[in-house]
Amino acid sequence: MGRSDSLIFGCGPMGQEVAEQLIGRKLPVYMYSSDLDRVAEVLAKGFDAAVLDYTDDDKLRQVGIGEWVKVIFCLFPEEAKNVFLTLSARALDPDLKIICVSESSQSGQKLFAAGASKVIDPYEISGRKVHELITRPMIVDMLEHTVFGKHLDIAEIEIPLDSCLSGNPLSILDLGGRYNVVLMGVVDVEMSDRLIFSTSGVDHKLDAGDMLVVIGPAVEITRLKGDLEEDRTDQLLGG
Amino acid sequence: MDNTHRLIQTSYKLKDSVRYRRAKKFFYDLLENPKARVRPYFDVFMILLVVTSVWVLIYDVRHDMGLFDDLFEWVAVTIFIIEYLLRFWIYNDSHKVILSHYERAEFINQPFRAWPALREVVAKKWEYMTQPLAIIDLLAIIPTYRPLRFLRIFLLFRLFKLFRYTRSISEFVKVLNEKRIELFTLFIFMAFITFTAATALFFFETDVVDGKGVGSFFESIYWALVTMSTVGYGDITPHTTEGRVVTIILIIAGLGVISFFTSIIVSAFGEKMHEIRAQRVFSEVERKHIDLIICGYGRVGQVVADQLAADQRQFVLVDPQESNVRLAKQKGYLAALGDAADSALLESLGIATQAKRLLCLTGDDVANVYITLSARQMNTEIEIISRANHRENVTKLRLAGADHTVAPYEIVGLIAAEYVGQPVAFEAIYGMLTGQNDVGIEAVRVRSGSVLDGRCMADIGFRQRKLIPFGVVREGGCPIDASSGAYEIEGRCFHFNPTPDFELQAGDLVVMFGHEYSVVHFRDCLERGTL
């Protein structure tokens, strides 16, 4: 059995969807389920999968939880299974990223209480999307084709040590003018995970380790990354 | 011959007259058309008039109201007569009957004879006059005619006129009508018992002395009915043993009849209640011109409904599960119980008429495809948004006629993958998708002649307003020499991150990121024409 940073528990349609997306981004992934038939089904589709009794902590340790695994996805259709798995995994590794799906807002709270790092509510998101489709179809179309389609990427770029950007306030950056990208905001990783939108009033001073979140075509993002790494002040700040 | 000619000429004139048609249409809306706006007002007015006139009738028995009484009666009856005549008039088009006869005669090259045509006209009108409701209308008028004053009691028929104006009474009648076989059986049984018991009592009790017994056969029928219905006034009582035996049997039979009668009524309403409720929903949908139908009140449906309700938009929900419909009703949403795959149900909700959008949000892809397909067949214009639970069904839904599909699992896959790769950017995407942050993506339309029209991006001052311009959507395809940031999206061109010298045109859609307050302020500035 090979080593993989990310594990998916649950081989249902949701698990397959997530696996497909991850593999599409060149991120190796393993799928586990306690259901033999499901495992056979995803194996036939070409995923790496195995049967695993998730209730046994030793088995979980064997597949790498608490050791090399960084992210697990709890995608069982049954809420109780997800809660149980989240609890077990959290006990094994306090730093593990655990992503769960929830069926309702109440179960979302339970999963958070069990130690999930992120709870995704597919129905909530879908409902909101339908609502957006009704109220402003043009924007949905645009996002669908650009950001979530093939044209534009969302990328996070770390500001390297001793970068010329350090110490500059967020508001003076004019990335949109110098590169064909839109700067959405910045995350001060040391402070919190919250995204500081570049529009919000707080004038954040950039420093090394901050993550810039930008949207743009892949080429431009690569150019920006390159310039940041080489710390080309003339390009980044314009003289 | 000349008269016949004139008749046809008049008929053609009526057929061509716009004013005649408009007048007839107006009165049809007022009196008959259940969808017309004016109809409810007219109904309420007539109900008040009927109730008042009956009240005056009752008051008049003991009091003398003098001139007012006559005046009011006169006004009420005039209105009733006008109403009767109008209904008589709009019942059908007599000129059409004549013309169809005439044209048929022309067609087979026969001379047109007026009599058969006129006979049919009269027959049609007679058909109207013999309708139960028309008879009631007439009976409500006639007693006012002086020589027929003795028919005053028939003025009570005015109360029956209320049938016309209230839906619940007519629904009650409809329910009873549906159970007419049972009621008829009961009636026969009751008549049989009454007759037998009355005969027996008459036989046993007429001979009793002291003038206590039954005087006539009519009295004994009266006694039998009073006993059987368990009313039992006790004004006529049996005195012989035989008579009392008959009474015992009649009482027991009476209990049976009463309970049978009650159960018929109760079950009739039980069966009908669901339908009546659905009918209420349909009529509300029609009355309020609700153009948004949501099929499936599951998790996704609930989210959508809550958000639409927050926007104060109107919609109607359809769900086959009673528990879901109850939940929706508790929240005050308009909901119909039923399977949306049933095209009759969709039709009742106005899919072919006023509906503009249909959302298929059930958890079952087969149902979604079926609903999409049948809705598309009934209405080619309607916008259909459908939920696809499995990726492979997206194309099927598109083929069935869905304009947009939303795939919950795919969305999970997308954001999950993003989370592994770029956990920081994920927050931004998640926030954008769920709209949980106050910062969101907004669009502002450039109206012709507004301050934005013809302005360069650099002159708008997005930065000062704490807005990030994201792009501009312009109608029409992309120019060939467009910069690298232009993408074609379904016949429109999306200019990503437009350069400072990009000039806005009327009709453009400016897409921007920003806090909702900033966007509101920006819109406000645009309205006032100051930048």
pLDDT, tens digit, 9 for 90 and up, residues A123-136 = 888 888 888 888 87
Q: Pick the last residue of a domain from B165, B198, B226.
A: B165
Residues B427 and B406 grouped into a single domain: no
Convert the pLDDT of each residue in A44-73 to its tens digit: 888 888 888 888 888 888 888 888 888 899
Q: Does the distance separating the beta carbons of A17 and B300 come in below 8 Å?
A: no
Residues B201 and B104 grouped into a single domain: no
Alpha helix (H) residue ranges in B288-342: 299-310, 322-330
Provide CB contacts within 8 A for B295, sequence distance 6+: B301, B317, B318, B319, B340, B358, B359, B360, B361, B362, B367, B371
| d(CA A172, nearest CA chain B) in Å | 10
B-facing residues of A in 211-230 (CB < 8 A) are 211, 213, 215-217, 219
Q: Is B71 on the interface with A (CB under 8 A)?
A: no
Is the reported ipTM for this assembly greater than 0.90?
Answer: no
Residue to test with chain A: of B468, B520, B522, most A Cβ within 10 A = B468
For residue B487, list its beta bridge partners: B494
Average pLDDT, chain A: 82
Q: Residue B251 falls within a domain, yes or no?
A: yes
Q: Residue B172 falls within a domain, yes or no?
A: no
Q: Is B427 on the interface with A (CB under 8 A)?
A: yes
Q: Pick the last residue of a domain from B135, B165, B195.
A: B165
Pairing outcome for strands A71-74 and A97-101: parallel
Average the pLDDT over each of A17-26, A183-192, B235-244, B314-323 and give the range with the smallest value. Answer: A183-192
Instruction: Report chain A residues whose CB lies below 8 A from the CB of B414.
Output: 21, 148
Q: Residue B460 falls within a domain, yes or no?
A: yes
Average the pLDDT over each of A141-145, A193-197, B479-483, B508-512 and give the range with the smallest value. Answer: B479-483
Residues B33 and B151 grouped into a single domain: yes
Q: Residue B503 falls within a domain, yes or no?
A: yes
Per-residue pLDDT of chain B (531 residues; tens, 9 = 90+): 578 888 888 888 888 888 988 998 888 888 887 777 788 888 888 888 888 888 887 787 777 777 777 788 888 888 888 988 998 888 888 888 888 888 888 888 888 888 888 898 899 899 888 888 888 888 878 776 655 556 666 667 777 777 767 767 777 777 888 888 989 999 999 999 999 999 998 888 876 656 667 778 898 999 999 998 888 888 888 888 888 999 999 999 999 999 999 998 888 888 877 777 888 888 888 888 888 999 999 888 998 999 899 888 889 999 999 899 999 999 999 998 888 888 888 888 888 888 889 999 988 889 999 999 999 998 888 999 999 888 788 899 999 999 888 888 888 887 787 777 777 666 666 666 666 666 677 788 888 888 888 888 888 888 778 788 888 888 877 776 655 677 777 778 888 888 888 888 888 888 887 777 888 888 888 888 776
Residues B154 and B27 grouped into a single domain: yes
Average the pLDDT over each of A91-105, A224-238, B232-246 and give the range with the smallest value. Answer: A224-238
**What residue type is assigned to position A176 of the chain?**
G
**Facing B484 at nearest CB: one of A5, A142, A217:** A217
Q: Is B394 on the interface with A (CB under 8 A)?
A: no
Residues B78 and B205 grouped into a single domain: no
Residues B304 and B388 grouped into a single domain: yes
The span from the CA of B336 to the CA of B316, in Å, is 8
Q: Residue B201 falls within a domain, yes or no?
A: yes
Domain hosting residue B469, numbered range: 422-528
Q: Which helix (H) or strand (E) segment is A27 a member of?
A: none
| d(CA A109, nearest CA chain B) in Å | 16
% of chain A at pLDDT higher than 70? 94
Q: Does the distance separating the beta carbons of B468 and A199 come in below 8 Å?
A: yes
Residue B400's CATH number: 3.40.50.720
The mean pLDDT of A179-187, rounded to a whole number, is: 81
Which residue, chain included where needed, has tokens 């009165």?
B27
Residues B144 and B46 grouped into a single domain: yes
Indicate the number of domains in chain B.
Answer: 4
Instruction: Report chain A residues whose CB lies below 8 A from the CB of B301.
Output: 127
The pLDDT of residue B225 is: 92
CA-based nearest residue to B388, from B359, B417, B427: B359
Provide CB contacts within 8 A for B426, sequence distance 6+: B415, B418, B419
For chain A, helix, strand, coil in percent to 5 are 40, 20, 40
Residue B187's CATH number: 1.10.287.70
The pLDDT of residue B392 is: 82
Residues B400 and B354 grouped into a single domain: yes
Q: Residue B200 falls within a domain, yes or no?
A: yes
| Beta sheet of A29-33, edge-to-edge order | A49-51, A29-33, A6-9, A71-74, A97-101, A118-120
Residues B132 and B13 grouped into a single domain: yes
Residues B316 and B369 grouped into a single domain: yes
The pLDDT of residue B208 is: 61
Provide CB contacts within 8 A for A216, sequence distance 6+: A152, A153, A155, A179, A180, A181, A182, A224, B496, B497
Please count the other Cβ atoms lying within 10 Å of the Cβ belonging to residue B448: 10
Instruction: Report chain B residues whose CB lies below 8 A from the CB of A131.
Output: 303-304, 307-308
Q: Which helix (H) or strand (E) segment is B208 a member of?
A: none
Residues B257 and B317 grouped into a single domain: no
Q: Residue B175 falls within a domain, yes or no?
A: no
Residues B150 and B47 grouped into a single domain: yes
Q: Residue B254 falls within a domain, yes or no?
A: yes
The pLDDT of residue B187 is: 92
